[in-house]
Amino acid sequence: MKIFTDHPLAAHSSWRVGGVADSFLMPESLEDLQKGLVWAQEQGVPVTFISGGTNILISDRGVRGLVISLRKMTGIEEEERGGRLLLNVWAGTSKSELLKSFLKRRVAPALFLAGLPGDVGGGVVMNAGVSESIVPREFCEIVDWIEVISFGHSGEPYQLGKGILISSHVDVQNAVRLNRDQLQWSYRRCGGWRPGVIVRVGCSWPLEADASILEKVKVANQRRLSLQPLEFPNCGSVFKNPSDRQRAGMLIDQCGLKGLRWGDAQISEKHANFIVNLGQAKAMDIYGLMEHARKRVKEKFGLELESEIVRVGDWDEIHEAR
Ligand SMILES: Cc1cc2nc3c(=O)[nH]c(=O)nc-3n(C[C@H](O)[C@H](O)[C@H](O)COP(=O)(O)OP(=O)(O)OC[C@H]3O[C@@H](n4cnc5c(N)ncnc54)[C@H](O)[C@@H]3O)c2cc1C
C-alpha cells in the first residue's frame, strides 16, 4: 500500500481540474483500505472518497487530508437464481462493466446504464440514472443492498464532499449490509448510509430477455453523442432539473447563456446544462459560471437551481468571501 503526498487530482476528475491531495491512496483490496483508514485516524486527518470522478468539482486549492479513490476495487460475481440475475459488485467497478453483465442476458438495466460514466459506488451515491420513461431508469431500482464500512465521525456535521474525521475503530471485516429499503433514495442522491464508504453493491433484475436491447443501447449511445459535448472534458449535467417539464438546460438556454465563457470554462453550446473545459479551465471558472447561471435563472424564472455535482476539497474561503 502506497500513500502518495501532494498528489495531483485533475486526472481523477472528468473535468480535468483541481489541485493536489495532501495524501492519496488507491487501495486494491480491503486490507489496503483498512490500512489507509487507520492511517488517517492515527494522523488525525480527514478522509475524502472519490471513484470515477465524473460528478465532482475538485477545488483548485486541493483537498486536505487523505483522498481515497475506490477505482481499483473492482470485480463482479454473477449468479442466476430463482429467475433473477444476481450481481455482487465491488464499488470501483465501472458502470460499463455492470452494463455488460446485464447486456449478456439481454435484460433491461443495460439500457439506462448505456453511456453512464463513472463507477458503481458513485452510481449508488448519486442515484444515477436517466430522465427518459424507461424501467429501470435509476440505480435505486436495481440495487438490493450495499455494504458499507461505517465509522464514527468527529468535528463539523457531515457535509457531502467534505472530508470525514474518523473517530472510531475501523474494521473492514465488519462491513454493514444495508438493504435497499433502509436507504433514503431521492433524485440524484442516496442517503442513510453515512458516514462511511461503500465497498460492495448487490444488484439484481428478473431474467426476462428483451431481444431488441442491443439495438436500444446503440441508439441511446448515439443519442448521447449527438446531444452532449463529449469532445471536451465535462462532468455531465451540473444542475438537477427542477421538474420533468422544467429542465435546467432549457432554463439556462432561455437565459441566453449557451457559449458563455469564464476563462477556459464554457457553458456548452451543445447542451446548456453542461460546462466544458476548453483546455486550461480552473475549478473556480467552472464554479463562477455555475453561480452566474444560477443567478440568471433565479432572476428570470424565480427558480433556484440545485447543484447535481459535488464540490470536493477546500472551498471554505469561497463560502466566507460570499
Ligand atoms: C458525460 C457525462 C454524462 C453523465 N450522464 C449522467 C446521466 O445521464 N445520469 C446521471 O445520473 N449522471 C450522469 N453523469 C454524472 C456521473 O456519471 C454519475 O453521477 C456517476 O454515478 C458518478 O459516479 P463516479 O464514480 O464518477 O462518482 P464520483 O464523481 O467519483 O463521486 C461522486 C460522489 O460519490 C461519492 N462516492 C463515490 N464512490 C463512493 C464510495 N464507494 N463510497 C462512498 N462515497 C463514494 C464521492 O465522495 C462523491 O461525493 C454524467 C457524467 C458525465 C461526465
Instruction: Evaluate if pTM is beyond 0.85.
Output: yes
Q: Which positions ≥6 away from 25 have C-beta within 8 Å?
A: 1, 2, 3, 4, 32, 36, 66, 67, 68, 69
Residue 310, ligand 1, Cβ within 6 A: yes
Comparing C-alpha atoms, which of 140, 135, 77 is closest to residue 109? Answer: 135
Domains of the chain: 229-321 (3.90.78.10)
- pLDDT tens track for 75-134: 999 999 999 999 999 999 999 999 999 999 999 999 999 999 999 999 999 999 999 999
* pLDDT for res 62: 97
- Identify the active-site residue in 94, 204, 296, 308: 308
Does residue 229 surpass a pLDDT of 80? Answer: yes
Residue with CA nearest ligand 1 atom 2? 236
Question: How many C-beta atoms surround the C-beta of residue 279 within 10 A?
Answer: 11
Comparing C-alpha atoms, which of 50, 49, 61 is closest to residue 22? Answer: 61
Residue 92, ligand 1, Cβ within 6 A: no
In contact, 172 and 199? CB cutoff 8 Å: yes
Residue with CA nearest ligand 1 atom 43? 197
Cell of 321: 468571501
- pLDDT tens track for 31-62: 999 999 999 999 999 999 999 999 999 999 99
Distance (Å) from CA 53 to ligand 1 centroid: 6
Question: How confident is residue 317, by pLDDT bands cut at 50, 70 and 90?
Answer: low
Residue 55, ligand 1, Cβ within 6 A: yes
Cell of 217: 443501447
* pLDDT for res 168: 86
Average pLDDT over residues 147-175: 86
For helices 213-227 and 95-104, the axis angle rounded to 10 degrees is 150
Q: Which atom of ligand 1 is nearest to the CA of 161?
A: 49
* pLDDT for res 157: 72
Does residue 155 surpass a pLDDT of 80? Answer: no
Average pLDDT over residues 5-14: 98
Residue 235, ligand 1, Cβ within 6 A: yes
Report how far residue 71's alpha carbon sits from residue 13's, in angstroms, rounded to the nearest whole number.
12
**Angle, CA 185 vertex, CA 182 and CA 188 arms, to 5°:** 150
Report how far residue 46's alpha carbon sits from residue 51's, in angstroms, rounded to the nearest whole number.
17
Report how far residue 158's alpha carbon sits from residue 155's, in angstroms, rounded to the nearest whole number.
8
Mean pLDDT for the chain?
95
* pLDDT for res 173: 84
Residue with CA nearest ligand 1 atom 21? 123
